[in-house]
Chain A
């Protein structure tokens, strides 16, 4: 018989939710309400059933590409009893091409100084051209960074969520329940990918969007292992009648 506490702490606040998701991350003791106590019985913490996640520290670096049990992260459509298990971005090495292009573009005005016809332009137009050039480079850097930063794949203990932020005018968020996952495949090809251990994870589901691709994510084997553990836990929940 679970012990039931009375408390005025709101159960759906992000702080309470984070504390429930990552008990080790919070030093404060939060008295669970009756619903939280019932949830604790019905809903096990990821560390209890996932051997892979048990060995992972809670992520605290917002810029990391592999974010196990992120302390800071919160998702708009996260249900009250749903917790983020793993968040993934493309491996940081995938940013190298746009960083190189940006550095070369920044050197553009320096190179143009050696072009003989440039002094023919009035000084004020030369200045405007240089300002415009650097603004365009800044825009390119900002868009490339945001495209990497907000292109996130999230695995919660109930769903997988794919946030595609291709550019400033295109955003797509799709999700599928863990128990709808039918097949998970990882692929790591090429010298750099093998060396730095990153690749694609392809998840096939029975839902409306029947294919999720986590592109260039770090440690794809570990991601697959976590997803398989989540699927097993979902099956166990159904068998034990702990389905919410």
Chain B
């Protein structure tokens, strides 16, 4: 498909109110997905920091903290995949 055809189809979508609304919601959905993937980066940082800090100062519950950080990361990944699936 040529680039001109893509532009034409996009303009046609804009001319159709229902299709425009759907396109808008899809864009919002993809923004959510992007946000969830950014959150995965945050969850990875939490795992890294917990490793660093438990290495710096051993507190007696290091294992529990690491498990909690990994559970948080897994939940973040599952939510991001779920979002990608339903958008």
Contact = CB atoms under 8 A, between A and B. Distances in A.
Interface of A: 14, 62-63, 70-76, 121-122, 124-125, 127-129, 131-132, 135-136, 138-139, 142-143, 146, 149-150, 152, 154, 163, 165, 168-169, 171, 173
Contacts of B42: 139, 168
Q: Is the interface of B mostly helix, strand, loop or mixed?
A: helix
A129 B50 CA distance: 28
Interface of B: 25, 28-29, 32, 35-36, 39, 42-43, 45-46, 49-50, 52-53, 55-61, 65, 68-69, 72, 75-76, 79, 82-83, 86-87
A124 B87 CA distance: 7
Nearest to A138: B72
Given A128-B29, A138-B72, A142-B72, A173 B50 contact: no
24 contacts: A14-B58, A62-B60, A72-B60, A76-B56, A122-B25, A125-B28, A125-B29, A127-B86, A128-B32, A131-B82, A132-B39, A135-B39, A135-B75, A135-B79, A138-B72, A138-B75, A142-B68, A142-B72, A143-B46, A146-B49, A150-B56, A168-B46, A171-B53, A173-B56
A135 B45 contact: no
A166 to B, nearest CB: 11
A99 to B, nearest CB: 17
